Amino acid sequence: MTELYSRISKDNAAVILVDHQTGLISGLVRDYGVDEFKNNVLALANTAKFFNLPVILSTSFENGPNGPLMQELVDLFPNAPKISRPGQINAWDNEDFVKAIEATGKKQLIIAGVVTDVCVAFPALSALKAGYEAFVVTDASGTFSQQVANAALMRMAHAGAQLMNWFSVASELQRDWRNDSEGFGALLASQLPGYQNVIGSYMGAQSDLGEQNN
């Protein structure tokens, strides 16, 4: 029987970022604004950093029009495996890519990339077939239109992928606010503008409470 709720574990998860390249983001991502999309990608990347998850980066034809990987990702993960695929469209067809995943020893793959229907869907479906769990981060993956994204996400979900956003990934990894609440709150506030209001409200309430106790 298929487990209905398989939670991401920070002890068994790796983050796979596929083709977050400057040319692809600026030229092909239309289901999100560029600034919003880059924020989502960096939010996922910073989540991986916060929870010390292994990260694998991959690019396709980066010396051509697809362009280089987002510099922010290079700076965040200078020691992460970076698999530059010479031609394979499905990253899973690249032997070095698969070996890098196997080397992590993790069976839960948190996957995002550009474009959703190809660079995310193909390796996600391949990972599922190979016996991994696939958690697709929808808001850190982009493509030509919302309609195209919906079709790709439906295809992956039907195959067994779990669809999430970066915030739900972070929350599931965190499990409990008492696990470094200050650090987790700072992560959310840095990437989720609305959460800055929550922090501000909390700090104001704490200040008022302190004045009442004096």
- pLDDT, averaged in runs of 10, over the chain (214 residues): 80 98 96 96 98 98 92 98 96 98 98 98 98 98 98 98 98 94 89 73 54 59
Within a domain: residue 171?
yes
The pLDDT of residue 213: 60
CA distance 48 to 30: 25
Task: State whether 167 and 205 are in the same domain.
Answer: no
Burial class (CB in 10 A: 0-12, 13-18, 19+), 110: buried
Task: State whether 53 and 144 are in the same domain.
Answer: yes
Task: State whether 86 and 31 are in the same domain.
Answer: yes
The pLDDT of residue 212: 60
Within a domain: residue 18?
yes
Which residues, in sequence order, are bridge partners of residue 55? 15
Active site residues: 119
Task: State whether 108 and 210 are in the same domain.
Answer: no
The pLDDT of residue 93: 98
DSSP secondary structure string for all residues of 158-198: HHTPEEE-HHHHHHHHH-STTSSHHHHHHHHHHH-HHHHHH
Burial class (CB in 10 A: 0-12, 13-18, 19+), 37: buried
Task: State whether 43 and 64 are in the same domain.
Answer: yes
Task: State whether 165 and 181 are in the same domain.
Answer: no
Task: State whether 41 and 144 are in the same domain.
Answer: yes
Task: State whether 28 and 129 are in the same domain.
Answer: yes
Instruction: Output the domain CATH number for residue 123.
Output: 3.40.50.850
Question: What DSSP element (H or E) covers 49?
Answer: helix 34-50
Task: State whether 65 and 138 are in the same domain.
Answer: yes
Question: In which domain, by residue range, is 152 found?
Answer: 13-175
Task: State whether 49 and 137 are in the same domain.
Answer: yes
The pLDDT of residue 84: 97
| CB-CB contact of 79 with 106 (8 Å) | no
Q: Is the pTM of this model over 0.85?
A: yes
The pLDDT of residue 1: 42
Within a domain: residue 3?
no
